[in-house]
Chains A and B, each alone.
Chain A
């Protein structure tokens, strides 16, 4: 029975070789790139405050070059008078069959009305260990605390683990230590129905936040809709993912 269960989970991992929902995290851990074999384009928008247009958006492409997977992404955060943008180039390296190491190189631009434009460079490091039923990931965001002026770029350290209960269900626990927002522990539970419909429940224990995400897959397209209750606002998000070839 255990063998059957393990086989199912393993098959599910193969089926989910391109776990696209991992692209939708608040942070992008570059080790995820190791799971992408085909070219992918995706775009994501989170509306944080519709009254004055505060939003967070991302447009990115994942592609292979000389047998190595890269991602080039453009991120934007802000509203009319405050815009922070970031260009990221990411890649990952397989260390062993179970371990991966990844790197993001980011160029940041800050534009505030009537103020001088600022820019900065930072990097992030990701690491993962994957076994048949679980996965452990680390993410060091801006470990050298690079900045525009002083402590204005986020610096985080995230440890997360994912456990596959069966072929359709996994849960993920994430411990996050941030210089800006302190400690946070969050949990996610995702159920996939017949590989085309998925539902995730997101919850943070400290600070108390919650939300859900619905995903739908149709041939090469995937569509995600997300709602999150954050401590300071309600966020509504959408994401569209397009693969150049089928799985």
Chain B
């Protein structure tokens, strides 16, 4: 009866939730640049497929949420491994801030007799539009083929017996909904199955793939904070309804679990965009741009075998990859991954091989001392001709810098204060024709963080030095305060110094919510002044529209948004963003040019939960 009560309670919470403001705000304090619609897609996925804390294999997926610190993750994992829970509220007894548990509450559950939670079994529709004023030259002179309105439709619904259907359709400003001879514009259709027997998962449609440490494939969202690598592979393939137009696969994937062994089989067939290089912009508005749409066929087929036993993980993957962009030759890619924990030491490593010629290796050791300190050492190396298109986002690990050595240290002084320091040394292993022939460099990143229920304070300093080029110093300060239950305020200062030139921006955000939590208003203002480096700006959280951009020059940007929960199943929002430059008369160039130094963007969304009588 008690368990039933808890499930009903959680179900009720979940019904009215699905507002990721708390989660967004947390990540905003940690690393603003990692915020994108991809992470919201991850949260939405786990919102609809919550993590069963009593399942060891699912427990590790908590990491993918990017909402817990290493220490919090470790405490929860150890606790859930040691006993079977009957309620998620048992986690409150752990030495973890309540705010951390609130952040993950919507994504975890304890089932009653392994029955999936019922609250997520409701179809959801999201419809969003965005338009700009004044309009761009491409719209005015008719070069843009589509309407000047950006539109976005997302639909998710459960089907029968563990099957789900998802649809995501997005068109950018100036793009048509449908291209002649090239089909729908950025349409993703997903069919997924989640089972409890030997066949655990089936995906048909758009999906992400992450193998091992991601030396070959790592398209799933991972926090793009290259300095505190806390990545651990969890699921190999995961369906995605993200609007991204690059860095994904399309086809079918299935997962079987036989005893402790996972067998993943996957295949992908899609077309890449581009001409002489792969087009990652995702903008196809003019006839010339459309010529680059779906130009190169890409095929992939592979199998992954993985075994989890206690604290040890072993996996092997073999993939055949073929792309017309690379002369249509088949590449045979292999990845071997191992991870082993021994008391407070965890080793993980991946070795990747391409056609038995090119290789890559990554080895990592994590050492934790008590619950308060963590030390990580990582070594990586690869040949420069290794397949590099879908790897995970490592610190300075591109075709320019194939070798690297990284270490980081973090220490929790107490429950509120944390200090982190990371150093990364990188060097090219291919000789360049121009000087420096083997470029090398290093980056240092340090952070002091203070988190309490009422205040958050982050001070980050980054130093980057690359041989024969200017040193860059970056300082970022974030201060946030909860003035009351209804009002939250934060300010962000960004300073970038390069070649004795200081680039800066100062931003402030206000968040207000009504007492009944049905209305929300956000206001943001930022004044920026840059000469040599652009500065990242992120508007306050607004569901479905992630207005972030790099700002360069002199000017200000402000945004005002209003969101209203009309009833339990309907939510609407509007955001107005104004960008005004002081140092130019027009914004942009070519067809994207706006004949004014000020532009305004209006975003409107409607989110609807369709009531399902069967539940």
A9-B565 Cα distance, complex, nearest whole Å: 43
B584 smallest CB distance to A (angstroms): 11
CB-based contact A175/B556 at 8 Å:
no
Tell me which of B92-100, B501-509, B568-576 binds A: B501-509
CB-based contact B529/A182 at 8 Å:
yes
CB-based contact B558/A157 at 8 Å:
no
CB-based contact A145/B580 at 8 Å:
yes
CB-based contact B525/A157 at 8 Å:
yes
CB-based contact A183/B481 at 8 Å:
no
Q: Which of B481, B527, B582 is A157 in contact with, Cβ under 8 Å?
A: B527
Chain B residue contacts of A179, Cβ below 8 A? 527, 529, 554-555, 582
- Counting contact residues on chain B (CB < 8 A from A), the size range is 20 to 34
CB-based contact A143/B558 at 8 Å:
yes
CB-based contact A177/B527 at 8 Å:
yes
Is B491 interfacial (CB 8 A cutoff)? Answer: yes
Chain A residue contacts of B483, Cβ below 8 A? 98-99, 129
CB-based contact A140/B489 at 8 Å:
no
Is B495 interfacial (CB 8 A cutoff)? Answer: yes
CB-based contact A156/B527 at 8 Å:
yes
Chain B residue contacts of A54, Cβ below 8 A? none
CB-based contact B504/A143 at 8 Å:
no
Chain A residue contacts of B528, Cβ below 8 A? 177
A168-B555 Cα distance, complex, nearest whole Å: 40
Is B583 interfacial (CB 8 A cutoff)? Answer: yes
Is B493 interfacial (CB 8 A cutoff)? Answer: yes
Q: How many chain-A residues does the 8 Å CB contact rule pick out? A: 23
A155-B580 Cα distance, complex, nearest whole Å: 12
CB-based contact A183/B506 at 8 Å:
yes
B61 smallest CB distance to A (angstroms): 39
CB-based contact A145/B495 at 8 Å:
no
Q: Which of B508, B556, B582 is A151 in contact with, Cβ under 8 Å?
A: B582
Chain B residue contacts of A140, Cβ below 8 A? 525
CB-based contact B495/A183 at 8 Å:
yes
B482 smallest CB distance to A (angstroms): 11
Is A214 interfacial (CB 8 A cutoff)? Answer: no
A157 smallest CB distance to B (angstroms): 4
Residue interface bits A76-119, CB-to-B below 8 A is 1, else 0: 00000000000000000000101100000000000000000000
A143-B101 Cα distance, complex, nearest whole Å: 40
A155-B527 Cα distance, complex, nearest whole Å: 9
Chain B residue contacts of A182, Cβ below 8 A? 502, 504, 529
List the 7 closest pairs (A to B, CB-CB), nearest first: A183-B504, A177-B506, A157-B527, A177-B527, A159-B491, A151-B582, A182-B529
- Enumerate chain B interface residues (CB-CB to A < 8 A): 481, 483-484, 487, 489, 491, 493, 495, 502, 504-506, 508, 525-529, 554-556, 558, 580, 582-583
- Enumerate chain A interface residues (CB-CB to B < 8 A): 96, 98-99, 129, 136, 138, 140, 143-145, 151, 155-157, 159, 175-179, 182-183, 206
9 pairs across A/B with beta carbons < 8 Å?
A99-B487, A129-B481, A136-B481, A136-B489, A157-B508, A159-B506, A179-B527, A183-B506, A183-B529
Q: A138-B508, A143-B556 are in contact. List 11 more A-B contacts (CB 8 A).
A: A136-B489, A143-B525, A145-B555, A155-B582, A157-B527, A159-B491, A177-B529, A179-B527, A179-B582, A182-B502, A182-B529
